[in-house]
Amino acid sequence: MKTVIVLLVLWAIVAVVGFALHGLLWIGIIGVVLFVGTVVFGALRRGSRRAVDRG
């Protein structure tokens, strides 16, 4: 879980920098895509772990 949080922070920083510097807009878009992907991955992983715990 700690890794997912670190990645979310990293992607948020990349997105902000990309949108702040107009010439690097594509970096902002990549940061947003990676952020959303990490959220989905973390949610799926957390959900599968709960299903295993329930038996």
Q: Which range, 19-23, 33-37, 46-50, has the best average confidence (pLDDT)?
A: 33-37
Task: Say what the pLDDT of residue 51 is.
Answer: 63
Specify the higher pLDDT residue, 12 or 51.
12
pLDDT tens-digit readout, 10-28: 999 999 998 898 788 899 9
Listing DSSP states for 19-49 in one string gives HHSGGGHHHHHHHHHHHHHHHHHHHHHHHHH
Q: What whole-number distance in Å separates Cα of residue 8 and Cα of residue 14?
A: 10
User: CB neighbours of 8 closer than 8 A, spacing ≥ 6?
Assistant: 35, 38, 39, 42
Task: Say what the pLDDT of residue 7 is.
Answer: 93
Flag whether pLDDT at 53 surpasses 90: no
Task: Say what the pLDDT of residue 55 is.
Answer: 57
Quick one: tokens of 35? Answer: 């952020």
